[in-house]
Structure 1
C-alpha cells in the first residue's frame, strides 16, 4: 500500500464496487450482477500491487485463483448440477505453473509432462462428467502439438514435423468421424487436404536444381 498508485487503485475499486452494489440492490435485488464488474475491479489493485513490487509470478497465481473462484461462483449460481468450471480451470492453472517453471517451461520434458497431465485430467473429466461423447480428443489434439512443435523445431526436421502433424490431424478426423457419425465416412475429405502438406514439402525438397 506504500505506492500511491496502488492506494488509488484500491480506493477507486472499493468506491466503484460500493456504488454498483447499491445500484444492484435498488434496481434488481433478485439478481446479483455486481459480481461481474467486481471481478474486473478487484483485478486492478491486485495487478498494480504485484507490478509495483515486481512480483509477476505470485500475481499469476493470485490472478488464476481469482478467475477460478469467479467461475466457481458463476457455476454454483446458475448451474450447480454440473461443475463446468473445472473445464476452464484445468487450463488456467497452467499459467502460474509455467511462470514458476521459468526456463524449464520451454523444454521438451516440460512439454511432455504438461501434455500428459492435460490429456489425463481432461480425460478423467470426460469419463466422469460427460461420458456420452469423447470430446477429450480435442484438448488431446491441441496438447500433443506442444511437445511435437518443440522437438521438430529444435531438430529442424520440417518434413517429419509435417508428416507427424498430418497423421495427428488425420487421426483426429477419423476418431471424430467414428464417434459422431460412423454410418457416413466423411473424414476422407479433410484428410485428403491435409496430406498435401507433407507431400508438397517432400517434392519441394526433391525438386531439380534450377
Structure 2
C-alpha cells in the first residue's frame, strides 16, 4: 500500500507537469491547467489517508481541495455570481459531521444538521433569488433525515408512512402554491401518495387476522 501512495504522488506530479506545459505551449493566454492540477491533488491525498485509515483528515483535506478549486473557478470565470456559496455548505458539512464519529448517527445530530442546512439555504434564497422560493425543495429533502432516522430506530413503519405521506403532500402543495398557483396540480400526486399508508394498514390488518 505504501508503494501505491508513492506511485500516486509521482503520477500526480507528472500529470500536473504535463498539463502545465501543455497549457503554456498551446494556450498561454488561457490558464486552464490550474483546475485539473488542483483536482489531481485528490489522488495522492486519497491514497495517503486510506493508507493511514484516517477518514476525518481525508474528509477535511478533500473538502478543502474542492473549496479551493470551486472558489478559484468562480472568482476567475464568473466573479459577479457567487455560485460557490451553494456548494460551500455541503463541503464544510462533510468534514464537520465526519469529526462527530458515531454521534453523527444520533437524532440530535440529524435535527441540528437538517436545521442548519435549511437556515443556510433559506438565507441564500432570500439574498439571491427572493422571488423564487426554491428552498422548499431543500426543506423537503433534508426533512427526510430526522424523520427516517426516528422511525427506523423505533421501527414504527406505519406511522412513518403516514407522516411521510403528509410530508410529501405538504411539499407538493408548497411547490404548487409557489410556482404555479393558477393550476391546481398537487391533488394528483397527493392522491397517489395516500395509497402508501392505506396499503400498509390493510396489509398489517390482514396479516394480523391470518395469525389468529
Query: Does the CA contact (< 8 Å) of 2:39 and 2:69 recur in 1?
Result: no
Q: How does 1:150-169 map to 2 (within 5 A)?
A: 150-169=149-168
1:99-156 Cα distance to aligned partner (Å, 9 max, x none): 1111101111110111110111111111112212011111111111011111101111
Give the alignment of 1:171-186 within 5 angstroms.
171-186=170-185
Helix, strand or coil at the partner of 1:32? coil
Q: Unmatched 5+ residue regions in structure 1?
A: none
Q: Which residue of 1 aligns with 2:15?
A: 16
Deviations 1:147-202 (Å, cap 9, x if unpaired)? 11111011111111011111111111111111111111011111111111111111
Structure 1 residue 4: deviation in Å? 4.5
Normalising by the residue count of structure 1, what TM-score does the alignment of the two structures yield? 0.93
Alignment map for 1:180-195 (pairs within 5 Å): 180-195=179-194
Moved more, 58-67 or 8-17: 8-17
The CA distance in 2 between the partners of 1:206 and 1:186, in whole Å, is 32
Structure-2 residue corresponding to 1:101: 100
- Give yes or no for contact 2:70–2:84 (8 Å, CA) kept in 1: yes
Give the ranges of 4+ consecutive aligned residues of structure 1 lying more than 6 Å apart after TM superposition. Answer: none
Structure 2 distance, partners of 1:45, 1:209, is: 60
Partner Cα distance (2:3, 2:165) in 1: 55
Please, what is the CA RMSD of the aligned residues? 1.5
Partner of 2:210: 209
The two structures have a TM-score, normalised by structure 2, of 0.92
Separation in structure 1 between the aligned mates of residue 11 and residue 153 of structure 2, nearest angstrom: 48
Alpha-carbon distance in structure 2 between the residues aligned to 1:146 and 1:85: 24
Structure 2 gaps of 5+ residues are none
The residue number in structure 2 matching 1:92 is 91
Give 2:134's aligned residue.
135
Alpha-carbon distance between aligned partners in 2 of 1:144 and 1:153, rounded to the nearest angstrom: 14
